[in-house]
Structure 1
Amino acid sequence: MESKTAVICPPDLTLRPLSLKVEKLLALPVIKVFRAWTTEFDLWFAAPGSLLGKPEPNCPFYFETFYGGIRHPHYGRFLSIEEPHRVEMTWITGASGTRGAETLLTIELVPHEVGTFIKLTHAGFADTASRDLHNEAWPLILGQLHERMSRPAD
C-alpha cells in the first residue's frame, strides 16, 4: 500500500501554524496499528457502520463518533500511505474539534521490542483552544486504540 501518487491540493497551513505532537508506546504489532489508522477505524474510534472511504492517496473518508450523547462527524482525505510505517491525512471536524479547519494528521509507526512506538503530529489548528483540546484528547484516544485493538478477535 505504498503511495507514490501526487497529492491533489495539499492543505495550506501557512496561516495556521499551531501544532502538537503526541508519542506513545503501544504493545501492538506495527501492522495492527497501521490497519487501525487505515481500514479499521470502526474497530476502535469510529461508530460502527459509519466509516466511508478507502485508504488511498487523494481519497476522502468520513466517520462519526459519539461522545456525551453528541454526534461528531470527522472528514478528511488520505494524502500519503507508506505501509506499514506512515499515514498522512487531512482531518476536519466541527465546532468542538478543528472548528472546520482542514488540519494535517501524520501518524508515524516505529517497530519496538514490545510493540509499536507511535508518533502523532497534528498541525494546522486555527486557534490555541482547538490545539489544546486535541493535545488533551489524543493521548486518551491512543489509549483507546491500544485497549480496543488489544482485545481478542470475536
Structure 2
Amino acid sequence: MTSPICFPDLSSRPFTLKTERLMAASPDVLFKAWTKQFDRWFAAPGSVIMQGEVNTVFFFETIYKHEAQSEAQRHPHYGRFLRLEQDRLVEITWVTGAGGTKGAETVVTVELEPNSTGTLLRLTHAGFPDEESRDGHEYAWPFVLEQLDKQMSTNAQ
C-alpha cells in the first residue's frame, strides 16, 4: 500500500512562473520524456534514478560549463512524483541548490494538450524562495523546453 503524498506547503513562497510551448512531439512521447527519459533531453546520461510513479523519488544531474569557468559544474536535481495522468499531466517536486531553487522544494506542473500539429505544453513552476530564483528559471525553462522538443520530436521512440 502506498502512503499518502505530502504536498509541499508553498504559502510562504509565492514566486511562480508559467510558460508554454507548442511542441512537435505527441503527448505520449512527452509524458514518457518527463517520467522515464530525462537523460534523453535534460539530464546527464547515466545520472538518472527514476521510476516515474506517484509517490516515488527521483534524482538526476545536469552538467553545465559557464563561459567564465574553466570546469563544468554539476547541478544535482531531486524530487518526488506528486500526480500523474497518462499523457496529460506530470506534477513533481523540484529541488536544486545554489543558482537554482536554493534548496527549496518547488513544484513543477506540466500539462499536455494534444493539437493538430503535436502538443501544447504548459509548464507552471511554483514555490520559489525569491524573485532571483524564479527569474533564473523563467529565463531557463524556454531553452529546456526547446531542447525537449528537439530531442523528442526528432528521436521519438
- In the superposition, the TM-score normalised over structure 2's length comes to 0.92
CA distance in 1, matches of 2:94, 2:44: 17
Partner secondary structure for residue 131 of structure 1: helix
Confirm or deny that 1:66 pairs with 2:63. Answer: yes
Aligned alpha-carbon RMSD (Å): 1.4
SS at match of 2:12: coil
What does residue range 41-56 of structure 1 map to in structure 2 within 5 Å? Answer: 41-56=38-53
Taking structure 1 as the reference length, the TM-score comes to 0.93
Dislocated runs of 4+, deviation >4 Å: none
Q: Distance in 1 between matches of 2:81 and 2:53?
A: 6
The verdict on how the C-alpha distance between 1:23 and 1:75 changes in structure 2, with shifts beyond 3 A counting, is: same
Measured after TM superposition, the shift of residue 9 of structure 1 is: 1.7
For residues 88 and 155 of structure 2, the distance between their equivalents in structure 1, rounded to whole angstroms, comes to 23
Within a 5 Å distance, the mapping from 1:14-33 to structure 2 comes to: 14-33=11-30
Matched, 1:148 2:139: no
Aligned-pair CA distance for 1:150: 2.3
Unaligned regions of 5+ residues in structure 2, if any? Answer: 66-71
Shift of 1:8: 2.2
Counting aligned pairs with the same residue, the percent is 55
Amino acid corresponding to residue 54 of structure 2 in structure 1: P
Quickly say closer, same or farther: Cα 1:60–1:85, change in 2 above 3 A.
Answer: same
CA-CA distance at 1:20 after TM superposition: 0.3
